[in-house]
């Protein structure tokens, strides 16, 4: 009775008002569950294909009716009767059915929608929460969140080139206490910006997006906010960066087109990071320090800084086990960003996380800049127990939904709940 009986897809909207898919899976016993697919803006070139209609008459070509058609047609026909509890088998079937290396035929949005909706239905069928069924031995570790309180780059209409400035509440006994401190700091940052006459409107991930004097000023402002909120930077709250430089890497140079129009070589970028780390020891994690096409830059960055801080690969690894495994061999990064829709199935996502664990890499479970109220990543983060999640700032409903889900899970786990806290930070900083 746990066989897949029906798949339905709906063209819904993401947090930027762009179409995306909601997929509902119904099992033969009547159990039904829905998953909603996110969408990135600063995407890696080698991400699995997000299928868009290209019909300019609808949503500027961004409609997903073709993907909806595949879910309800070809995919449904192929998986009807399949055991919902065999996630691996289902995901393999979906990949085989697509038949391309990058899910370019049916679309990673169609495939992930099905994969994730069935994962939810299987959990419901067992009467368990998703975090308890995603992996064989689920952890009970609440992740340390990275809250992206200042947005730049492609996520904001400002003059800051760097995309993400995150705060991570490491020095607290529980997830809820850590979240509270981070949220209070977010509110204090608003006051700090306001007093300086800066705009407090927000970007795609809910962080403030003011016009600033430099790419460095956000760090200064955040440090001020942490202190004014009554916390100690570097001890209670640390800073994570994601410059997302694939977006400003041009002809072998990093071009700060939004701020001072300067140009930097890979070596100069590394020197810049080194100078920041010296000045701001509160920075402990750097995601995408180098552009995805700057392989040599990545190797050099890892050699220079890999023993001092967490170096997270996002655009370069694209949650793809094959690409990630090559990166590990090449000595690139020491952690990976995990985004379900970069690869398109639950199983391949879990494979990537396992690969990280096996090779001593960290893994940060992540939202996309285009999100919905889907909270699967909160459950995923707890289940795999890698201790980290980034899912935006302390405003915008689609970000808050994930934090609220983590609060629920914390309550559900009760005294069994553990908080990753400083354990993630200590790994690099002793
Ligand atoms: P994206 O950004 O979802 O727009 O790709 C998130 C990130 O770069 O981490
Ligand atoms: Zn990133």
Task: Give all domains of the chain, ordered by start, each with its CATH number.
Answer: 4-127 (3.30.390.10), 141-429 (3.20.20.120)
- CB 266 near ligand 1, within 6 Å: no
Please state the pTM of the whole predicted model: 0.98
What is the secondary structure of 289-347 as a DSSP string? -S-TT-HHHHHHHHHHHTTTSEEEESTTTTT-HHHHHHHHHTT--SEEEE-HHHH--HH
CA 369 to ligand 1 centroid distance, Å: 5
166 C-beta closer than 6 A to ligand 1:
no
Please identify, by atom number, the ligand 1 atom nearest to the C-alpha of residue 44: 5
Q: For ligand 1, say whether the CB of 110 is within 6 Å of any of its atoms.
A: no
Residue 430 has pLDDT above 70, yes or no: no
Measure 244 CA to ligand 2 centroid, in angstroms: 6
Helix, coil or strand: residue 279: helix
Q: How far is the CA of 180 from the centre of ligand 2 (A)?
A: 24
Active-site residue set? 205, 339
- Average pLDDT on 387-393 reads 98
In testing the pocket of ligand 1, which one of 15, 165, 247, 339 has its CB within 8 Å of the most ligand atoms?
339
Cβ(144) – ligand 1 distance below 6 Å = no
41 lines ligand 1 (CB under 6 A): yes
> Is the model's pLDDT at 428 over the cut of 90?
no
Task: Indicate whether residue 43 lines ligand 1 (CB < 6 A).
Answer: yes
Over residues 234-244, the pLDDT tens digits come to 999 999 999 99
Closest ligand to C-alpha of residue 317 is 2
What is the reported pLDDT for 429?
Answer: 74
Q: Atom of ligand 1 at shortest distance to CA of 163?
A: 8
pLDDT mean over 257-273 = 97
The set of residues, in sequence order, having a beta carbon less than 8 Å from that of 192 and lying 6+ positions away, is 221, 224, 225, 228
Cα–Cα dist 110/350, whole Å: 19
Q: Where are the beta strands (DSSP E) in 347-387?
A: 362-366
Of the candidates 302, 158, 162, 299, the residue with the CA atom closest to the CA atom of residue 239 = 162
Which residues does 195 contact at the CB level (< 8 Å), separation at least 6? none
Rounded to the nearest angstrom, the distance between the alpha carbon of 190 and the centre of ligand 2 is 24
Contacts of 58 (CB under 8 A, 6+ apart): 65
Edge-to-edge strands, sheet with 32-36: 4-13, 19-27, 32-36
Q: State whether the beta carbon of 342 lies less than 6 angstroms from ligand 1.
A: no
Distance from residue 6's CA to the centre of ligand 2 (Å) = 35
Share of the chain above pLDDT 90, in %: 98
- The mean pLDDT of 310-327, rounded to a whole number, is 98
- What is the CA(42)–ligand 1 centre distance, in A? 5
pLDDT-derived band at 82 (thresholds 50, 70, 90) equals very high
Beta bridge partners of 168: 238
**From CA 413, how far away is CA 416, in angstroms rounded?**
5
Q: What is the pLDDT of residue 154?
A: 93
Work out the average pLDDT over 15-35.
Answer: 98
pLDDT value, residue 425: 83
Count Cα neighbours of 379 within 13 Å in the Cβ-side half-sphere.
18
Element (H, E) at 217: helix 217-228
From CA 265, how far away is CA 368, in angstroms rounded?
Answer: 28
Q: How confident is the model at residue 137 (pLDDT cuts 50, 70, 90)?
A: very high
pLDDT at 288 over 70: yes
pLDDT-derived band at 426 (thresholds 50, 70, 90) equals confident
Q: What is the DSSP letter of 39?
A: B
Atom of ligand 1 nearest to the CA of 43: 5
Which position has the token pair 């760097």? 162
Is residue 376 over pLDDT 80? yes
- Ligand 1 contacts CB of residue 125 (under 6 A): no
- Neighbour-count burial of 300, counting CB atoms closer than 10 A to its CB (0-12 exposed, 13-18 middle, 19+ buried): middle
């Amino acid at each position: 009775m746990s066989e897949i009986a029906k798949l339905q897809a709906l063209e819904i909207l993401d947090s930027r008002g762009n179409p995306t898919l909601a997929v509902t899976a119904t099992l033969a016993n009547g159990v039904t569950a829905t998953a909603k697919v996110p969408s990135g803006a600063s995407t890696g070139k080698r991400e699995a294909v997000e299928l868009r209609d290209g019909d300019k008459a609808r949503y500027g070509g961004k409609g997903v009716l073709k993907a909806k058609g595949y879910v309800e047609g070809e995919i449904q026909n192929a998986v009807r009767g399949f055991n919902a509890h065999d996630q691996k088998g289902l995901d393999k079937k979906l990949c085989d059915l697509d038949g391309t290396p990058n899910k370019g035929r049916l679309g990673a949005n169609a495939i992930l929608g099905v994969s994730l909706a069935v994962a939810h239905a299987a959990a419901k069928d067992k009467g368990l929460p998703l975090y308890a069924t995603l992996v064989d031995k689920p952890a009970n570790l609440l992740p340390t969140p990275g809250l992206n309180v200042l947005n730049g780059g492609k996520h904001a209409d400002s003059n800051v080139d760097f995309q993400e400035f995150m705060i991570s509440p490491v020095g607290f006994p529980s997830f809820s206490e850590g979240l509270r401190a981070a949220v209070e700091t977010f509110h204090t940052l608003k006051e700090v910006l306001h007093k300086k006459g800066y705009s407090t409107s927000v970007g795609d991930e809910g962080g403030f997006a003011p016009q600033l004097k430099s790419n460095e000023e956000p760090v200064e402002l955040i440090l001020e906010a942490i202190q004014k909120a009554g916390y100690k930077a570097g001890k209670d709250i640390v800073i994570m960066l994601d410059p997302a430089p694939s977006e400003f890497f041009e002809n072998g140079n990093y071009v700060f087109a939004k701020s001072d129009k300067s140009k930097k070589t890979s070596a100069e970028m590394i020197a810049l990071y080194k100078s920041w780390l010296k000045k701001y020891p509160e920075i402990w994690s750097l995601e995408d320090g180098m552009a995805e096409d700057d392989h040599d830059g990545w190797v050099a960055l890892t050699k220079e800084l890999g023993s001092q801080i967490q170096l997270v690969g996002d655009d370069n690894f694209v949650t793809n086990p094959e690409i990630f495994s090559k990166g590990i061999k090449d000595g690139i990064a020491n952690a990976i960003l995990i985004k379900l829709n970069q690869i398109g199935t639950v199983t391949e996502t879990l494979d990537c996380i396992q690969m990280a664990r096996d090779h001593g890499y960290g893994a940060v479970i992540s939202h996309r800049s285009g999100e919905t109220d889907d909270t699967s990543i909160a459950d995923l983060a707890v289940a795999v127990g890698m201790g980290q999640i980034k899912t935006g700032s302390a405003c915008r409903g689609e970000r808050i939904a994930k934090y609220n889900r983590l609060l629920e899970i914390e309550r559900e786990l009760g005294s069994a709940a553990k908080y990753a806290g400083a354990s993630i930070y200590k790994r690099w900083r002793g």
